[in-house]
A and B are shown apart, each in its own frame.
Chain A
């Protein structure tokens, strides 16, 4: 059972928009910035969003992030088949004094 809660799966058609949510508590999301990762099987995870809504160099603006209270959301617009992957949120948990990841959300682009 992950400290951060994500829906197991989400799906949408090519070109559409999807949001992936991440729910936590005051111990983690409520008091720390959130990061989002994309993970395709057999490859290294990729950092998509950090500090809730910032994109590292090279990440297209189709990817966006937001945070409100103890929840965070990743948005992906203009879905492409290449976006099919597992998406994880992550942050620091002050009670655990460690990093916590969500359980991951599998995105299917129909």
Chain B
């Protein structure tokens, strides 16, 4: 059974940093692209970033480009999101998600974690 477990969320001051992790199990992690999607309070889903199966290709939303870095460790079956220069508008529930197909569309996410909450506030 596929399982994705996010961790690393919490309260951080504006300008601070945080690293989210997503531990994956139940599938061959190194075969699939992965992504991060967030939902701010009262708002809709917002794609944050995606990474190819090998980690060689990464993509970011304009709202986080230059501040967030997505990475993965295929030997540890873990996806990461390093967040820096955090702003109040980054406050959201952050989900990690698995791509549906090995070929990787970067937006067909068939499995999602339960999310980890990031709150940016002084």
Q: Which residues of A contact B (CB under 8 A)?
A: 2, 33, 35, 37, 39, 44-47, 50-51, 56, 86, 88, 90-92, 96-104
- Whether A45 contacts B112 in the complex (CB less than 8 A), given A88-B45, A98-B60, comes out as yes
Chain A CB within 8 A of B105 CB: yes
Report the Cα distance A99→B95, complex, angstroms.
15
B105 CB contact (under 8 Å) in A2, A56, A92: A92
The main secondary structure of chain A at its interface with chain B is strand
Q: Is the CB of A86 within 8 A of B59?
A: no
A102–B50 CA distance with the chains assembled, in angstroms:
18
Chain B count of residues within 8 A CB distance of the other chain? 24
Chain B residues in 8 Å Cβ range of A97: 59
Secondary structure dominating the interface of B: strand
Contact partner of A44 (CB less than 8 A), chosen from B46, B62, B107, B112, is B112
Bound: A72/B60 CA distance, A: 24
Are the C-beta atoms of A44 and B47 separated by less than 8 Å?
no
B114 within 8 A of A: yes
A44-B95, A86-B44, A92-B105 as given contacts; A99 in contact with B114, CB under 8 Å: no
Q: How far is the CB of B5 from chain A (nearest CB, A)?
A: 12
